[in-house]
Chain A
């Protein structure tokens, strides 16, 4: 079985397992008034609010995993982008806007960010994918304008957008580091090793 699928299956099992932890939201999600409980920065992305939230994110994870397999994305890239997006991408927004953060959505959107960069393998223009993804992310907020749901919707959209952009930037960073490292290796025979 493809390694990315094994990785994704393991994550799904963790999400399902955490779902059955009593008081999971109160104990594990990232809450503004519980900032001193540092473990929440690691646990919040594994917690889901309700069954629909869990199913949506399992579906999202499955989707990006399957696309990643098609695009022949390396497990190292996929897992590092996914996990870092899940842990880190919401932090700046959370500090600014002060809300309860939970769920794997940011990790999933980080995965979409990675995928958007790799679609060039199929000759697809990356900026088109980014534009479409951004429109889709903010569509919920757009339709919530003028309703009582707008505040919650815009926070969610911004959070997902941060996840998406974090995925793009993080993948760009690890690619650059790899490229510099590979260039060094490529210059072994021509390198100054004396």
Chain B
């Protein structure tokens, strides 16, 4: 009898059904989608669920927004990560990329130093769930494509080696059916979840699919989801089917 891999639920019920329980623990999953598709909210669900339901400490590495903004935005969905931080169950590091980049030049740091710092925090705090938001912005800190690829591989290996279950957020172009921005991220990670925002006339249809999940079976359809006042709600019984997808 085949031993099933241990799963880490994302905290989004419908998606966990699609994933047959959650993402595979101790591995990296790419979460990609266009602007406004709910990637950061997805990440917050993942971390919040880990803390609240499974006693797993979380770390959110942001290269986009300030701490206060993130806490306020996620509090709107009922996820009080500020309180979790005060208890020591959650840590948020990083900030807007422009400020970060300037500081890195000042102290003569490079991307490798950032990865080392992430490792250090994981070990110090006993973090089990990590989100990096986003790897597109992290790639801006790399000198060239080659360094970018190496950086991604380094992060993926490093987090796996530390036993963390991690989400790497990647922004794709709007209307695109690509799995990632640079077309190589999906080969480095163990799982790929894609959020789509497909324009249909005057509205956008949002869909989520699990394109890859090594070590686990999963739903292969594109399922409908919404961002509500409770966060992301996935409808695992409802498929998304539009003319765009027939092209």
Contact = CB atoms under 8 A, between A and B. Distances in A.
A188 B100 contact: yes
B217 to A, nearest CB: 36
B105 to A, nearest CB: 10
Interface string A118-152: 00000000000000000000000000000000000
Interface stretch (A10-18, A43-51, A179-187): A179-187
B61 interface: yes
Contacts, number: 43
B113 interface: yes
Interface in A140-194: 181, 184-191, 193-194
Interface string B96-140: 000110111011110001101110110000000000000000000
A189 B116 contact: no
B38 interface: no
Bin chain B's interface residue count: 20 to 34
B163 to A, nearest CB: 20
B114 A188 contact: yes
Contacts of A185: 107-109, 113, 117
Contacts of B121: 189-190
A146 B114 CA distance: 63
Given A184-B107, A194-B95, A189 B102 contact: no
Interface residues of A, number: 11
B99 A188 contact: no
A185 to B, nearest CB: 4
A190 B116 contact: no
B117 A186 contact: yes
A190 B117 CA distance: 9
Contacts of A186: 113, 116-117, 120
Contact of A193 (B61, B95, B116, B117): B95
Nearest to A193: B103
B95 A188 contact: no
A191 B113 contact: no
Interface of A: 181, 184-191, 193-194
Interface of B: 61, 93-95, 99-100, 102-104, 106-109, 113-114, 116-118, 120-121
8 contacts: A185-B108, A188-B103, A188-B107, A189-B118, A190-B117, A191-B103, A191-B107, A194-B99
